[in-house]
Amino acid sequence: MKILVTVKRVEDPEAKIKVKPDGTGIVTEGINYKVNPFDEIAVEEGLRLRDAHGGEVVIVSCGSEASTTEVRSALAMGADRGILVKTDQTLDPDAVARILVKLVEQESPDLVIMGKQAVDDDQNQAGQRFAQYMGWGQATQASKRANLESEDEKARKPGLVISGETVEVTREVDGGLEDVRLKLPALVSADLRLNLPRYASLPGIMKAKKKPFQNLTPEELGVDITPKITAKRFLSPPMRQAGEMVPDVPTLIKKLAEEAKAI
Amino acid sequence: MAEFQCDVRDLKFALLEQARIEKLFDHPRFEELDRDTVEAILDEAYKFARNQMAPMNPIGDREGASFDPATGKVTMPAPFKETYDLYTANGWLGFVHNPDYGGQGMPYSLGMAVNDLFFGGCLSFSLGPLLTTGAAHLIETFGNDELKKIYLENMYTGKWTGTMCLTEAGAGSDVGAVRARARKEGDYYLIEGEKIFISFGEHDLSENIIHAVLARTEGAPKGTRGISLFLVPKTRVNADGTLGEDNDVKCTGIEHKMGIHASPTCTLTFGENGRCKGWLLGEENKGMRAMFQMMNEARIQVGLQGASLANAAYQYSLQYAKERVQGKDILAGKGSPDVTIDRHPDVRQMLLQQKAIGEGTRALLLRTGFFLDMAEVSTDPEEKERYNGLVELLTPIAKGYSTDQGFKATELAIQVLGGYGYLSEYPVEQYMRDMKIASIYEGTNGIQALDLIGRKLPARDGADMKNLIGMMTKSVQPHASHPLLAADVAIFTKARDALVAGATHFAKVGRDRPLSPILNATAFLDLMGSVVVGWLLLEQALIAWPRFEDICRAKNVDALDSKATRGICEEDPDAAYLHDKIKVAQFNARRNLALCPAKAAILQAGDESAMEAML
Ligand SMILES: Cc1cc2nc3c(=O)[nH]c(=O)nc-3n(C[C@H](O)[C@H](O)[C@H](O)COP(=O)(O)OP(=O)(O)OC[C@H]3O[C@@H](n4cnc5c(N)ncnc54)[C@H](O)[C@@H]3O)c2cc1C
């Protein structure tokens, strides 16, 4: 089976993000970038499914030339080939969804796995939009019942169950889990507890460079990426104000009620 | 607060911008490497060190390896086995070793950078792989084809681990006093004797353990000239590679110790029942020579432990100091707000001192690793000899200076944390305890100092020292009128001259007053280490400066205007990094390098009171 997995280049979640003084974006100098953590889980799931059912895992990223690094790190984990849809423009989730539609027309995968959201702008939209355009079934927030310490997890058993023309997915929903079955091809988006992504091995890193890698552009795919959403202004969250010591509990309650209006 | 952190940018800077290991990529052996791949490797190693190794570091410290006297078995703390399996499966163990035998064939310098991360993640764990590759490399160099076929791949892939068995109760620094015996029986020997302090001599990480053992054959000459090297498996290996009979090697205990609790320090009895077979590596009585070939590499790796833990401790204390609020800015008026301790001048000095030690010794180790690579790949015999000579000369410094100073840095990290630093709840006191062993094993630092003045300085009529001095001068001298660093270059020049004066003094008085250089060997190692590390930090600043200038120019700011550049550094972490490369070099020049002339004066003064004291 053919599995297409998306990866996005995002700011290292541990980096200290600063907003540019003019509010047009964040300061990118000196920031480390990484594969979006949810996408790593998606890649891992793709690899497990491939190893169980055969076929190939194709990695797709949309973004600047620099995203080559993130595609390569997915290849280093063991994926088979990579595609970068290169643009220096800011992409909104709808543009990404429409780029994927075109790619899927070319590639005809049986399954597309994405991270449930990217940790940079936390939109949580691209997957849903893509499935909608395709008219596919979608299972967002894919998880599994086996816990991450279990023997199944150690043996790298896939969490998604594919049999014949369908895939069974356990989803995270408010207060519990939900099992769904979808007809293939389908879209699945990965949540945190689906698996523990593997480390890349050294031979994997060395081989990644030699794996097939295709560069495309939105123009070549015929996708208009003019954003439908634009960011007006970026602001830092307000600094935390210094606390105030109150003499006793009654004062505290009074302040909470009257000033903070919290009770 | 995140536990283990490494400034990977600094690692990349020292490797790619300073040592410039890209030179190696032209060589057919490393043609598959490029900058991006090097960065990808370091990023992945950091991920492994942080996510997989670092969480087990305090567990290893608390639980330690445990010994069962009834069975002679050693059990490692629970997470170690899983990590070991992942570590070996991902190809980290044989990182720099021969691909023909299951190694990954990477450059030493890159291997050192990777180990910088792994030692910082968990030193006690990393010693196992280190000893394994050490023993395997001995087999590769001195073993016959059959031994290589049976053992090498299994060791470089980590299926079996290895040890280095030198030390005995009566033979510590004086390896020549080894008493373990070997009796020839056809194509093998029967080994008998007891070794102590053997790291990873017994454990449950791998199915077999291969010991490299120093012993004496019958009738061998006394001292180091009568020592031979043997390969002794814990479990014998059949001709088809499967495991056979037990080989009569028994662990009779492990030590309780100050640090590296999860690295089992074993007493091993060989041939208690007369059934311990060993195979000769190299020739009879040439065991010490074999060991010496290994020593450069092993000693450099131990030096790296100093740099690595110094940096890990520094990173932790730096983060802590930025968060801990205590007291007021000493110059601010009454009623000013409380500040984080990184605002206090004394704390800042401690932080900068740690940074100078950590990043300076890291640069020293990576550069030495690069020289080792150049010595290996270079085809011009003269160049090869030059690089080999530099490695020889720098090895005792890399080992002795980095571990002495590294220990000081970990101690300063505790001091920065104050009372919290003294508590087991915080990681810095473990770094200090784990670190201490590095100045003792692989030849104590006292032995390193003797090696430096007795063997390395006089070698090739002092040509290596001349090369080193020449290299330092060439990189710094052109900057004598540098707009920012001229004064620091001048301090370095004086320090370098002091070093030359010290070395010349030894050469002059050594014949008539042999005690003088010996009494001052450690002082000389310290002097030379200060100069070399001071040079490397200054070189980094000289590399950083034009880049810093470029950033400032792009923002229309005068790079020399420290008030104006402050804003840029606050905005841009790259600018701040380069800026602080300059500051740490200045701090080091003015506070450490500046002491060198006094250090040289001391060793020329000929004080012998230590010898005269009655004690
Ligand atoms: C945790 C740990 C792990 C170890 N792992 C291994 C291992 O895996 N394999 C192995 O073979 N060994 C190992 N060792 C042994 C280690 O290498 C020795 O402890 C070390 O070489 C010093 O020997 P010693 O302890 O007998 O000290 P000594 O030799 O007694 O030295 C004591 C002091 O005297 C000084 N001294 C001794 N001789 C001289 C001299 N000629 N001139 C000047 N000063 C001198 C030393 O510098 C030192 O300060 C380990 C030790 C420890 C503690």
Q: Is residue B472 part of a domain?
A: yes
In the structure, what pLDDT confidence band is assigned to residue B129 with cuts at 50, 70 and 90? very high
Band of pLDDT at residue A247, cut at 50, 70 and 90: confident
A202/B573 CB distance under 8 A: no
CATH of the domain at A211: 3.40.50.620
Binned at pLDDT 50, 70 and 90, residue B511 comes out as confident
Report CA(A153)–ligand 1 centroid distance (Å).
45
The pLDDT score that the predictor gives to residue B313 is: 98
Q: What is the ipTM of this complex?
A: 0.92
Ligand 1 atom with the smallest distance to the CA of B443 is 21
Residue B561 lies in a domain: yes
What residues of B are in contact with residue A201 (Cβ under 8 Å)? 89-91
Q: To test the ligand 1 pocket, which listed residue (B133, B166, B173, B213) has its Cβ within 8 A of the most ligand atoms?
A: B173
List Cα–Cα distances, B595 to A138, B530, B588, in angstroms: 70, 9, 10
- Cα angle vertex B201, ends B199, B202, to 5°? 125
Tokens of A57: 């895992």
Would you state the pLDDT for residue B107?
97
Binned at pLDDT 50, 70 and 90, residue A19 comes out as confident
pLDDT score of B254 more than 70? yes
Confidence of residue B510 (pLDDT cuts 50, 70, 90): confident
Compute the distance between CA of residue B401 and CA of residue B407 in angstroms, rounded to an integer: 10
Look up residue B138 and give its two tokens: 């001995």
Q: Which of B265, B252, B270, B305 is nearest to B123 (CA)?
A: B305
A29 pLDDT band (50/70/90 cuts)? confident
pTM confidence score: 0.94
Check whether A239 has a pLDDT greater than 80.
no
**Does residue A223 have a pLDDT over 70?**
yes
Which of 133-192 (A) contact B at CB < 8 A? none
Tell which residue, A159, A209, A156, has the closest CA to residue A179.
Answer: A159
Rounded Cα distance, A36 and A96, in Å: 15
- Per-residue pLDDT reduced to its tens digit, B581-612: 999 999 999 999 999 999 999 999 989 999 99
CA distance B216 to chain A (A): 41
Q: Are A27 and B574 a contacting pair at CB < 8 A?
A: no
Q: Which of B255, B269, B267, B305 is nearest to B65 (CA)?
A: B255
pLDDT value at residue A245: 80
Cα distance between residue B454 and residue B442, in whole Å: 18
| Ligand 1, pocket residues at CB < 6 Å | B 163-167, 172-173, 197-199, 257, 265, 437, 440-441, 444, 446-447, 450
Atom of ligand 1 nearest to the CA of B257: 1
A56 in a domain, yes or no?
yes
Q: Hey, which residues does B228 pair with through a beta bridge?
A: B215
The pLDDT, as a whole number, for residue A14 is 82
**Is there a domain that residue B435 lies in?**
no
User: Which residue has the CA at smallest separation from atom 40 of ligand 1?
Assistant: B447
Distance from C-alpha of B405 to C-alpha of B427, rounded to nearest angstrom: 19
Please write the tens of the pLDDT for every residue from B65-84.
999 999 999 999 999 999 99
Query: What range does the domain containing B581 cover?
Result: 457-615
- Nearest CA owner, ligand 1 atom 23: B172
Return the closest-CA partner of residue B119 out of B345, B372, B265, B304. B304
Q: Is B110 exposed, middle or buried (0-12, 13-18, 19+ CB in 10 A)?
A: buried
| Amino acid present at A36 | N
Give the pLDDT confidence score for residue A17 in this predicted structure.
85
Distance CA B163, CA B268 (A): 11
pLDDT of residue B203: 98
> Rounded to the nearest whole angstrom, what is the distance from the C-alpha of residue A144 to the centroid of ligand 1?
54
Owner of token pair 């905005």: B571
A255 vs B: CB within 8 A: no
Whole-angstrom CA distances from A226 to A40, B420, B509 are: 28, 55, 80
Is A11 a residue whose pLDDT tops 70? yes
Residue B2: per-residue pLDDT: 54
E-assigned strand segments in A95-192: 111-115, 137-143, 161-163, 166-173, 176-183, 186-190
The average pLDDT across B429-453 equals: 97
The proportion of chain B whose per-residue pLDDT surpasses 70, expressed as a percent, equals 100
Tell how far the Cα of B403 is from the centroid of ligand 1, in angstroms: 15
Q: Please tell me chain B's helix, strand, coil percentages from 3-state DSSP, rounded to the nearest 5.
A: 65, 15, 25
pLDDT exceeds 80 at position B165? yes
Q: Which residue type does B399 have?
A: K
Beta-carbon contacts of residue B44 (< 8 Å; ≥ 6 apart): A73, A76, A199, A200, A202, A205
In this prediction, residue A166 carries a pLDDT of 96
- Helix, strand, or coil here: B249? strand
- A236 vs B151: which has the higher pLDDT: B151
Strands B188-199, B265-270: pairing is antiparallel
If you average pLDDT over each of A5-19, A226-240, B577-591, which comes out highest? Answer: B577-591
What's the mean pLDDT in A149-163?
Answer: 94
Told to judge if B3 belongs to the known catalytic residues of this protein, a careful annotator would answer no
| A54 or A241: which leads in pLDDT | A54
So what's the pLDDT on residue B614?
A: 96
Pair A144, A170: CB distance under 8 Å: yes
Please provide the average confidence, as pLDDT, over all residues in chain B: 96
Q: Residue A184: which domain range?
A: 2-258
Total domains present in chain B: 1
pLDDT score for B25:
96
Question: Containing H/E element for B116?
Answer: helix B108-121
Instruction: Report the share of chain B in percent with pLDDT over 90.
Output: 94
Give the integer Cα–Cα distance in Å for B607 and B262: 43
Residue B15 CB contacts under 8 Å (≥ 6 apart), including other chains: B21, B38, B42, B109, B110, B113, B366
Does residue B485 fall inside a structural domain? yes
C-alpha distances in angstroms, B427 versus A146, B62, B444? 34, 12, 26
Indicate which residue of B202, B442, B539, B549 is catalytic.
Answer: B442
Number of domains in chain A: 1
Given a cut of 90, whether residue B247 has pLDDT beyond it is yes
- Domain for residue A186, yes or no? yes
Name the nearest CA neighbour of A77 among A188, A211, A215, A216. A211
Q: Whose CA is nearest to atom 12 of ligand 1?
A: B167
For residue B615, pLDDT beyond 70: yes
B232: tokens are 């002794």
- Taking the CA atoms of A97, A99, A103 and A106 in sequence, report the sign of the dihedral they define: positive
Å from CA of B441 to ligand 1 middle: 6
Q: Residue A263 domain-assigned?
A: no
| A74 inside domain | yes
Mutation to test the A interface, candidates B1, B12, B44, most A Cβ within 10 Å: B44
Query: In this structure, is residue B607 part of a structural domain?
Result: yes
A29, A69, A199 member nearest B47 (Cβ):
A199
Q: Is A17 on the interface with B (CB under 8 A)?
A: no
In the predicted structure, residue B574 carries a pLDDT above the cut 60: yes
Whole-number pLDDT of residue B192: 98
